[in-house]
Amino acid sequence: MMRRLTNSIRRRGALALALGFAAASLALAAPVSAQAYQCSLPRTASVPTIARDGPQRQMSVIGYTLAVSWSPEFCRTREGDSGQARQCSGRSGRFGFVLHGLWPDGARGWPQWCSTDARPTGPEIATQLCRSPSARLVARQWAKHGACMTQSPRTYYRVSAILYDGLRWPDFDRLSRKPDLTAGEVRDWFAAANRGWPSGAVGIKLNARGWLEELRLCYDRRFMPARCDRGRFGPEDEAAVKIWRGL
C-alpha cells in the first residue's frame, strides 16, 4: 500500500513538472492549428469501447515518448476509409503532424494496459480531435498508455496537449523537396525549430519503402528532451528519407 502511494506521489510530481516545463515553452510555440488546417472541435464525441489486445505490463517509468504521425503519409491510401474520415476525407480539415500518443517508457520495454476503471468523457475526447483526429485513437491512448501514468484521463490528455502544443513545426513540405534527404537532416530541421532540443532526441519511423511515418520525441522522467535509445531512434542519420506531400 505504501509503495503504491509513493509511486502515485512520484507520478503526480513528474506530471506537474511536465505541465510547468511545457507551459513555459508555449510562449515560443506555434499554435496547434498550424498542423490542423480548418479543423474545428465538436462539443462532444462518442466514447468508443476499447478492448485490451495485449498483455498488461506494470513497471517503473524512466522516460516518455511523444509520438507524432505524419498525416499525409497515413492518409495516402485512406481517403475513402470511413473509419478514418475525420483525418483523411478533407471534410474536417487537413492535417500535418498529428498526435499519436504520449507513451511512458520502462528500462526494459514499456508499461501498458494498466488496470483502471476510469474512462474519458465525450467532451474530454472532443478537446483532442484537432490534435488526434480519431475518437478511437484518443480513447485507446488513454486505455493502453495513459492509465500507466496517471489516474485521470483528463490529466493525461492535458499533459499530452501541453507537450504537443509546445512544439514548433518547421515547414516539412519545403523539406520534402530537398534532394537526397537524410534522417539526420530531418532531425536537424526539427531541432533547429525547437531551441534547446538535441537532434539525438528525435526518433524517426519510416515505412518499408523509406517514407516518413512518424517522429518519436524522447523525454526523460522530468519531461525534458533526452537522447532516444536505439529502439526509438530509428534509422541512422545517413539513411535516406522520403516525405509524401499530401496537404
What is the SS3 string spanning 180-235? CCEHHHHHHHHHHHCCCCCHHHEEEEECCCCEEEEEEEEEECCCCECCCCHHHHCC
CB distance 39 to 133 below 8 Å: yes
pLDDT at 22: 53
Phi and psi (nearest 5°) for 4? Answer: -65, -40
Stretches where the chain sits below pLDDT 50 are: 1-10, 25-33
Handedness of CA 144, 150, 153, 156 (dihedral sign): negative
- For 63, the enclosing helix (H) or strand (E) is strand 63-70
C-alpha angle 163-93-218 in degrees, rounded to nearest 5? 20
Residue with cell 537526397: 180
| 69 DSSP 8-state letter | E
- Enter the C-alpha cell of residue 118: 476510469
C-alpha distances out from residue 237 to 104, 116, 210, Å: 25, 40, 13
Handedness of CA 13, 19, 24, 30 (dihedral sign): positive
- Prediction pTM value: 0.87
pLDDT at 37: 81
Cα–Cα distance measured from residue 191 to residue 169, given in angstroms and rounded to the nearest whole number: 10
pLDDT at 32: 40
CB distance 160 to 83 below 8 Å: no
- Single-letter amino acid code for the residue at 44: T
pLDDT at 5: 31
Other Cβ atoms closer than 10 A to 150 = 22
* Most distant CA atoms of the chain, gap in Å: 58
Cα–Cα distance measured from residue 211 to residue 70, given in angstroms and rounded to the nearest whole number: 10
pLDDT at 81: 82
pLDDT at 14: 55
